[in-house]
Structure 1
Amino acid sequence: MSGAGPEFDPARLDAYLKRSLAGTAGAMRLERIAGGQSNPTFFVTYDTRRLVLRKQPPGDLLPSAHAVDREFRVISALAPTGVPVPEPVLFCADREVVGTPFYLMERLKGRVFHDAALAGAAPEERRALYRALAESLAALHAVDPGRVGLADFGRPTDYFARQIARWGRQWDMSHAAPNPDIDRLRAWLAGHIPADERVAVAHGDYRMGNVMFHPQEPRVLAILDWELSTLGHPLLDLAHACIAWHSRPQDYGGLDGLDRPACGLPEQAEFEAAYYAAATHDARLDTFHMVLALFRFAVIFEGIAARGRAGNAASADAGGLAHLSGVFARRAADLLDAG
């Protein structure tokens, strides 16, 4: 599905790629992929090659956001491990080409489901798709960062404390109005940090919409959108994937309120169990992890809204998603109220 045209000169990109990639010839076809809220993404197609380009959005950006160099580094490190990632092609830091740093990866042919209810899949396949989602996350977390050159991809200690501080700062820099739920969550999280400091390669935004499945089989071909990846605790990734059960269909395509058995969809406990069965660690999800995941998601949507107000959002519907910051903060507060 295509969106608006690029904010850069396609001819300059075409010339750069023909200089940089052997065998690239003929007319370049450029198509923006609609729907992304982070880094603008394009299909770049030649007669001899099918590529995907991801770049930073234009304009002023929050510190550490839109780190396409880190995305390229992590998929390059994981490509030989068997963790399903797109094949990396090249990274370009030269802003003269498309206005920002960018990278290219090979384009795969598969299925991406943008709603957690898997409307585009047969009901009898949906549990297997969720099982594959869980097992691919466990495979990622089983990778030893040091063995793949990612020992310095993030700090190995105080992950939860740093996450709380980081997303608190992002909130301070981007919010348009106060939110008492956010204030409450920040204080509660800071006072309930677990002692467990196990470390894995963490995706940072792991969910159904960020993986590509095989065209016919319930098998993950590639984990996508590595913008928030770092070294971190694996259970925050798992909690983030479980947000689907804590949001409604109208709130970013969640599962809450659906007749899940009738739809062939698993419960959260079944999804967790599939992950635990494939995992190489014995940690288990609890309220802290879910609250932190929902807090992060609330701040992320506030950042999307801030980019929309500034006019440099990656997607035209950024303004329409601004309310989701409050929605997810409220869901996290509901977990605290439930005890």
Structure 2
Amino acid sequence: MLAIDGNKDRPSPAFIAELRRRFPTEVEVDRVLTRKLQWRAGPGYRPLPLATLIEGVARLLRTQLQTPFAISDARWLAGGASKLQMAFMLEWHRPGAGEQRTPMVLRMEPAESIVETSRMREFQLIKALLGTVPVPPVFWCDAEAEYLPYPALIYGFARGVTKPATSSSGVSGLGTHLPPELRARLAPQFVEHLARIHTFDFRKAELSAFDVPSPGTQCAQWGVNWWERVWEEDSDEDVPLLRLAASWLRRHAPALDRASIVHADFRVGNFLFEEDSGVITAWLDWELGRIGDRHQDLAWTTSRAFGHYAEAGGPFLVCGLLDEAQFFAAYERASGLSVVPRTVHWYKVYNAYMMAVLLLGTGYRIARNGKTHQDVLVTWLMGIGYMLLDEMRELIERGA
């Protein structure tokens, strides 16, 4: 662990500069992580009245719209362990469409999030993928909290559900059980949408908040640097297994064969669908998206945390939809891209490493310092971190 400054709650400029030097990554990722540390000594999270958010939205819209507008029906949206969300109705003159009443969602960071990400990257990525896969339309972004208490974006309210009315689920959609007739409708869309994301021509889109990795291992190294830096920023204990994992990841870093848009949280619980028709209406939670290696998504999506076994002793189903062999075969047909098992395995280790860092490092830090609206949930999630460490150990041993 870095010894420049032992007070991570008030990190010194020298401490921040040393982290930036040791762990180079994408420009926007570096900017957001640096801002997190620069703001860390500020006040913790305090409950915000809806009136404060409504006024912040109004201030933002007055800089964007030339005609009168009205905000109504504001209410909190539940769900997620990461961001604050407010639904509202906007009455406005929409350019090219005339007078409208549009349901919208404000998505805003707390004082510190369990995963610190860029609202501008999320905004650009959703906007770029509109028309390629189902996503809510995005309208405005307050990337530097000029108008709202914290960085935020505004997008259209997407209708649908994350699970059947008769199904139970855990935190963030974990443990969702999908009945056979529903998964038969959802599975083809699920695979097709992932293939469309990975084959999307990102070079024709406005993605200025993203860096494109060079051929070779830069993509993998950027990723390891990102999460090793976060561990150094947030942790208060030394976990030797995490140091071993970072070393293993660097030593076995795969070369990037094709740069693709990566969603980075493509799974059950992060898409909405119409329960009657089974049509997927929107893909959500793009905050960790990057231009990188498609195998990161493939490894994440096939994590056993997101699936369940089929009825009557059937096979384990990826995200509760189809078995792994069927999933990979369908993906290769839909995308025309190959699935490299060795690279999938590397990203399984990488994903476990990332989650252990977030739960045992960042989760601990923000809960202890009172920086999040989800402090109880985040504290509970910390307990899963040790299970992830054991999973990561098994994966490393299997791949050594």
**CA 194–219 in structure 1, closer or farther in 2 if over 3 Å, else same:** same
In the alignment, is the contact (CA less than 8 A) between 1:40 and 1:54 conserved in 2? Answer: yes
Q: What is the rounded CA distance, in whole Å, between the counterparts of 1:305 and 1:228 in structure 2?
A: 20
5+ residue gaps, structure 2, are 1-45, 92-100, 164-171
Q: CA deviation at 1:68?
A: 0.7
Residue in structure 1 matched with residue 59 of structure 2 by the alignment: 16
Q: Which has the larger share of strand?
A: 2
In the alignment, is the contact (CA less than 8 A) between 1:31 and 1:42 conserved in 2? Answer: yes
In the alignment, is the contact (CA less than 8 A) between 2:87 and 2:105 conserved in 1? Answer: yes
Q: CA deviation at 1:74?
A: 1.2
Q: CA deviation at 1:44?
A: 1.8
Instruction: Choose from 108, 111, 118 the match for 2:176.
Output: 118
TM-score by length of 2: 0.72
Aligned length in residues: 324
In the alignment, is the contact (CA less than 8 A) between 1:193 and 1:288 conserved in 2? Answer: yes
Q: CA deviation at 1:93?
A: 4.1
Q: CA deviation at 1:46?
A: 5.0
TM-score by length of 1: 0.84
In the alignment, is the contact (CA less than 8 A) between 2:272 and 2:281 conserved in 1? Answer: yes
5+ residue gaps, structure 1, are 248-252
**1:141 counterpart = 2:198:** yes
Q: CA deviation at 1:320?
A: 0.8
Instruction: Choose from 290, 310, 313 the match for 2:372.
Output: 313
% identity of equivalent residues: 25
* Structure 2 letter corresponding to 1:312: K
Residue in structure 1 matched with residue 118 of structure 2 by the alignment: 67
Q: CA deviation at 1:284?
A: 2.3
**1:207 counterpart = 2:267:** yes
Per mean C-alpha deviation after superposition, the further-off stretch among 221-230 and 89-98 is 89-98
Residue in structure 1 matched with residue 97 of structure 2 by the alignment: none
Deviations along 1:110-150, one digit per CA (max 9) or x if unpaired, are: 1214435433x433222542442232111101101112233
Q: CA deviation at 1:259?
A: 6.8
Residue in structure 1 matched with residue 16 of structure 2 by the alignment: none
**CA 333–269 in structure 1, closer or farther in 2 if over 3 Å, else same:** farther
Aligned CA-pair RMSD: 3.0
**CA 218–276 in structure 1, closer or farther in 2 if over 3 Å, else same:** farther
* Structure 1 letter corresponding to 2:374: S
* Structure 1 letter corresponding to 2:363: I
- Give the alignment of 1:41-80 within 5 angstroms: 41-46=85-90, 48-59=101-112, 65-79=116-130
Residue in structure 1 matched with residue 346 of structure 2 by the alignment: 288
**1:107 counterpart = 2:157:** yes
Larger Rg: 2
Residue in structure 2 matched with residue 250 of structure 1 by the alignment: none
**CA 213–164 in structure 1, closer or farther in 2 if over 3 Å, else same:** same
Residue in structure 2 matched with residue 129 of structure 1 by the alignment: 186
Q: CA deviation at 1:167?
A: 0.8
